[in-house]
């Protein structure tokens, strides 16, 4: 039997110095994290042998290995005032806080944000030979760290990250591609070798000729930045860059920026597949790289070996531990254990809810955009698959359109006006405007449809997915869970998607959505609500509209939130539950930030089975919900966090795993539960003006 292990390492508290705590007093209300982050560097800078200082966001305290009296600290405060920086204006004093407990989280923060800086260059040096250059990019391997606490034990989450940087500067890329969309691109300052600013372009401010004099007047400019500002051609754009994890934009002329290539910009930057594959690492390769990277930390005695199921069995579990099996039930009552449900299995046993056809045949429109390659009888194959799903009377009609929004819009309007029951559109790859136009005209009128890109026409799985998607969009339910959830009556996915860019005053237009399912996994319906909000918090009045009493009253409801609950969302949902005699079990499902899990057997490292998880306490776990799509990559676990006292982390894991089975638009289970699987896609479509005609409905238009 293999051993499960993860990228979380216990910190050796006995190797750390004694720590001292300090709190900050201010003359007015300020953003303490910004102030504390500045002070941790100012104290060391303003004192001799100042030691290591760390600002803990968790404790809202400064921690250090140095004991300092108030007299020295007052001198530091005065030095901060003399800098003239706004962040220090409200600083009143820094005061020793001997009553503050130096707990596990304080130790983890101290190592992650303090001691790490003593070893990070050694870590980078060890990884340097594993960086690769393959035109047109350079792939650099780095090691990230995150402090955490595992059942009272201070720990570090250490992970390998592959950063792909374009070999050409942003200015060179713009010269080659004048139509390049700058907003949203990830970039880094190319004038600094160490700790360069990294972030995303928020805005294009204007040409350098309009801003050169102003920017050259900024204090403390480096020689390299000054040279970039002075030498840039007069039409070179100046952009606003917001650092990753920050909010304050910094102005840069694009000559001083390199492009960090992210997957969503592969097409825009013309990154070939052979290069994209360099970002993926097999479990064995990733594990070896990680061991290379963390060697300096082990040599300093800061961390021990990674948590694993042999030494820490209570922290690890499997699908069997939470009672998950891939069991689904068909119309005839047959139960099958299979995560890849093909149409043939449904045909043999019957769909739970067939599409209710009228006496007249179902009418299918097929729109061929431009000149699609030979599809090897795709239409006939789809028709046969639909017949297997119980739709055996179909009349088809073929339409043709040029690869332009105007031509596609005209044909889409004709198809909708002629009252077709469903439609297929064969669209060229990369024709984004054509895709948007088709979806706007069809989804907006409630016409169930599927898009097939030209290069997938001969894909052996295409007909399966097309038929399943059309069947579900027309109201069919192929199968349900063999055993409904015992701890809930409903499962609902809650998401908030940005619809437009930020407006004045910090508000933005968003669309909040819910996808509601029964305990056996069948879709009950969806709901969309538009609102102007601060940040990403769903306002109380919007939540109340989205959770009506007639749908949720008296029910036990698992709420899968895409990402963390924000603001007063938890409080509002609890109040609503009390008002309608419902129980809302709140579960955060985060896609980013979870450590990888591995299976070790002998000398080899491989993928862990679906359902493997690492449990850091009774409210948080990292779960492998799906194997990766490619054998040469490593599974990315989900970060699952329970925000209710009456639901166990094991039941939360079970709900997520079970609802990965309920994806009726594909034969392959997704990484996310179906309650949230389409949240990013729905948000993107709403941004593009693709929305159903009604605010609520029962058909999964998003498939």
Is the per-residue pLDDT at 633 higher than 70?
yes
> pLDDT tens digits, residue range 183-192?
889 999 999 8
Count of beta carbons in the 10 Å neighbourhood of residue 328: 27
Q: How far is CA 610 from CA 389, 495, 613, 663, 670, in A?
A: 29, 25, 9, 16, 12
Distance of CA 185 to CAs 74, 78, 121, 269, Å?
A: 43, 40, 27, 10
Model confidence over 264-322: pLDDT tens digits?
A: 888 888 888 777 777 788 999 999 999 999 999 999 999 999 999 999 999 999 999 99
Which pLDDT tens digit goes with each residue over 308-333?
999 999 999 999 999 999 999 999 99
- Do residues 324 and 652 lie in contact, with contact meaning Cβ atoms separated by under 8 Å? no
Kindly tell me the burial class for residue 98, based on how many C-beta atoms sit within 10 Å of its own C-beta (0-12, 13-18, 19 or more): exposed
Q: Over 50: is that where the pLDDT of 504 sits?
A: no
pLDDT > 70: percent of the chain: 96
Binned at pLDDT 50, 70 and 90, residue 1 comes out as low
Question: Distance (Å, rounded) from C-alpha 57 to C-alpha 415?
Answer: 57
CA–centroid distance for 88 within its chain: 34
What would the two tokens of residue 498 be? 């940005």
* 3 state DSSP class of 62: strand
- Using the predicted structure, report yes or no on whether residue 8 has a pLDDT greater than 90: yes
Span 588-604, pLDDT tens digits: 999 999 999 999 987 78
Q: In angstroms, what CA-CA distances link 135 with 179, 272, 274, 402?
A: 22, 9, 10, 35
pLDDT at 78 over 60: yes
Q: Is-contact 60 132, C-beta < 8 A? A: no
Residue 392: per-residue pLDDT: 79
Mean pLDDT score of the chain, rounded to an integer? 89
Task: Supply the DSSP string of 381-432, one letter for each residue.
Answer: HHHHHHHHTT---EEEEEEEE-SSHHHHHHHHHHHHHTT-SEEEEEE-TT-H
R_g over Cα of the chain: 28
- Percent of the chain at pLDDT > 90 equals 61
648 band by pLDDT with thresholds 50, 70 and 90: very high
pLDDT over 70 (residue 345): yes
Beta carbons within 8 Å of 654's beta carbon, 6+ residues apart: 322, 323, 324, 485
Nearest to 63 by CA among 32, 109, 28, 26: 109
Q: Tokens standing for 614? A: 């690492």
What is the topology classification, in CATH, of domain 19-101? Alpha-Beta Plaits (3.30.70)
pLDDT at 533: 66
pLDDT tens readout for residues 519-564: 999 999 999 887 776 666 778 888 999 999 999 999 999 999 999 9
Give dist(CA 260, CA 140) in Å, integer.
11
Rank 47-61, 125-139, 644-658 by mean pLDDT and report only the highest: 644-658
Cα 275 to its chain centre, rounded Å, is 22
Closest listed residue to residue 475, CA positions, set 421, 437, 425:
421
Q: Which fold has domain 354-476?
A: Rossmann fold (3.40.50)
- Is 282 within 8 Å of 611 (Cβ atoms)? no
pLDDT (tens digit, 9 = 90+) per residue, 156-174?
Answer: 999 999 888 999 989 999 8
Contact 353, 476 (CB under 8 A): yes
The single-letter DSSP state of residue 662 is T
Q: In CATH, what is the architecture of 481-594+637-697?
A: 2-Layer Sandwich (3.30)
Query: What local confidence, expressed as pLDDT, does residue 506 receive?
Result: 52
Instruction: Give the predicted TM-score (pTM) of the model.
Output: 0.90
Residue 356: predicted pLDDT: 66
Q: Please give the pLDDT value at position 502.
A: 46
Inter-CA distances, 469 with 343, 364, 450, Å: 11, 14, 7
Residues 6+ apart with CB under 8 A from 443: 449, 685, 690, 691, 692, 701
**pLDDT tens digits along 407-445:** 999 999 999 999 999 999 999 887 889 999 999 999 999
**pLDDT tops 50 at residue 446:** yes
pLDDT score for 357 = 64
Does 505 have pLDDT greater than 60?
no
Spatial separation of the C-alpha atoms in residues 682 and 559, rounded to whole Å: 18
Q: What is the pLDDT of residue 358?
A: 63
Residues 6+ apart with CB under 8 A from 438: 367, 408, 412, 425, 427, 449, 451
* Cα-Cα-Cα-Cα dihedral sign, residues 335, 337, 338, 344: negative
> Which residue has better confidence, 49 or 216?
216
483 in helix, strand or coil? coil
Considering only 76-90, 489-503, 616-630, which range has the smallest mean pLDDT? 489-503
> Tens digits of per-residue pLDDT, 251-264?
999 999 999 998 88
Identify the CA nearest to 423 among candidates 413, 434, 433: 413
Read off the tokens for 151.
């059942």
In whole angstroms, what separates CA 155 from the centre of its chain?
Answer: 24
Residues 6+ apart with CB under 8 A from 550: none
Q: Is the pLDDT of residue 374 over 60?
A: yes
Give residue 498's pLDDT.
Answer: 62
H or E stretch including 295? helix 283-299
pLDDT one-digit tens code per residue, 228-248 = 999 999 999 999 999 987 778
Pairing type for strands 620-623 and 613-615 reads antiparallel
> Residue 453: which residues within 8 A CB-CB, separation 6 or more?
427, 428, 429
Residue 683 pLDDT = 73
616-650 residues labelled b (16+ CB within 10 A) or e (exposed)? beebbbbbbbbbbeeeebbbbbbbbbbbbeebebb
Judge whether 302 and 598 are in contact, CB under 8 Å.
no
Q: What is the pLDDT of residue 503?
A: 44
Rounded CA separation 588/576 (Å) = 18
CB 9 within 8 A of CB 306: yes
DSSP string covering 420-476, please? -SEEEEEE-TT-HHHHHHHHHHHHTTT--EEEEEGGGTT-TTHHHHHHHHHHHHTT-
Report yes or no: 516 and 659 within 8 Å, Cβ to Cβ. Answer: no
CB neighbours of residue 87 within 10 Å: 17
Asked if 642 and 649 touch (Cβ cutoff 8 Å), the reply is yes
CA distances from 119 to 115, 223, 286, 467, 552 (A): 7, 28, 21, 55, 53
Pairing of strands 362-369, 327-329: unpaired
CA angle 647, 649, 651 (to 5 degrees): 65
């Amino acid at each position: 039997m293999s051993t499960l292990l993860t990228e979380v390492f216990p910190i050796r508290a006995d190797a750390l110095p004694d720590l001292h705590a300090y709190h900050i007093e201010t003359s007015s209300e300020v953003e303490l994290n910004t102030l504390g982050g500045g002070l941790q560097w100012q104290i060391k800078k303003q004192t001799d042998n100042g030691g290591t200082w760390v600002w803990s966001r968790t404790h809202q305290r400064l921690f250090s290995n140095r004991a300092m009296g108030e007299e020295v600290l007052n001198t530091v405060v005065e030095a901060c005032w003399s800098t003239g920086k706004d962040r220090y204006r409200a600083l009143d004093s820094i005061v020793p806080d001997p009553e503050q407990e130096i707990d596990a989280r304080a130790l983890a923060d101290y190592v992650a944000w303090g001691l790490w800086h003593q070893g990070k260059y050694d870590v980078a040096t060890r990884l340097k030979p594993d960086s690769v250059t393959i035109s047109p990019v350079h792939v650099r391997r780095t090691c990230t760290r995150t402090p955490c606490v595992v059942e009272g034990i201070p720990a570090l989450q250490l992970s390998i990250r592959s950063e792909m940087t374009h070999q050409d500067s942003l200015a060179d890329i713009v010269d080659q591609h004048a139509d390049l969309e700058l907003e949203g691109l990830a970039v880094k300052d190319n004038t600094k070798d160490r700790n360069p600013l990294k972030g995303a372009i928020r805005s294009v401010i204007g040409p350098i000729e309009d801003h050169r004099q102003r920017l050259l007047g900024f204090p403390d400019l480096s020689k390299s930045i000054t040279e970039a500002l002075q030498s840039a051609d007069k039409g070179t754009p100046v952009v606003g860059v917001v650092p990753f994890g920050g909010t304050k934009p910094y102005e840069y002329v694009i000559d001083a920026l390199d492009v960090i290539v992210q997957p969503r910009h592969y097409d825009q930057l013309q990154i070939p597949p052979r290069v994209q594959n360099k970002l993926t690492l097999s479990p064995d390769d990733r594990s070896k790289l990680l061991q290379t990277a963390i060697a300096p930390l082990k040599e300093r005695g800061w961390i021990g070996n990674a948590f694993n199921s042999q030494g820490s069995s209570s922290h690890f579990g499997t699908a069997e531990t939470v009672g998950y099996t891939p069991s689904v039930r068909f119309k005839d009552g047959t139960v099958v254990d299979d995560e890849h449900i093909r149409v043939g299995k449904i045909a043999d046993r019957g769909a739970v809810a067939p599409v209710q056809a009228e006496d007249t045949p179902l009418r299918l429109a097929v729109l061929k955009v431009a000149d699609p390659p030979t599809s090897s009888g795709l239409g006939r194959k789809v028709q046969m698959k639909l017949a297997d799903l119980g739709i055996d009377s179909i009349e088809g009609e073929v339409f043709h359109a040029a690869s332009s929004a105007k031509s596609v819009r005209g044909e889409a309007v004709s198809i909708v006006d002629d009252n077709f029951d469903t439609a297929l559109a064969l669209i060229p790859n990369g024709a984004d405007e054509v895709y948007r136009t088709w979806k706007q005209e069809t989804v907006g009128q409630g016409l169930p449809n599927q898009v097939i890109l030209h290069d997938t026409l001969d894909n052996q799985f295409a007909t399966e997915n097309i038929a399943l998607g059309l069947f579900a969009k027309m109201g069919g339910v192929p199968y349900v869970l063999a055993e409904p959830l015992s701890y809930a009556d409903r499962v609902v996915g809650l998401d908030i998607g940005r619809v437009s860019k930020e407006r004045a005053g910090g508000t933005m237009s968003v669309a909040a959505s819910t996808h509601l399912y029964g305990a056996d996994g069948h879709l009950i319906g969806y709901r969309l609500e538009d609102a102007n909000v601060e940040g990403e918090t769903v306002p109380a009045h919007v939540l109340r509209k989205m959770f009506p009493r007639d749908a949720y009253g008296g029910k036990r409801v698992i709420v899968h939130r895409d990402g963390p609950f924000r603001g007063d969302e938890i409080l509002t949902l609890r109040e609503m539950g009390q008002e309608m005699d419902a129980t809302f079990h709140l579960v955060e499902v985060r896609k980013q930030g979870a450590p990888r899990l591995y299976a070790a057997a002998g000398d080899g490292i491989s993928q862990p089975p679906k359902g493997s998880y690492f449990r850091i306490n009774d409210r948080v776990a990292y779960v492998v919900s799906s194997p990766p799509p490619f054998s040469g990559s490593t599974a990315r676990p989900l970060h699952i966090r329970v925000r209710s006292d009456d639901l166990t982390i094991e039941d939360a894991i079970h709900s997520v795993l079970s609802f990965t089975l309920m994806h009726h638009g594909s034969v392959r289970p997704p990484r996310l539960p179906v309650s949230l699987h389409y949240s990013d896609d729905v948000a993107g479509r709403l941004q593009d003006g693709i929305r159903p005609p009604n605010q609520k409905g029962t058909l999964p238009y998003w498939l």
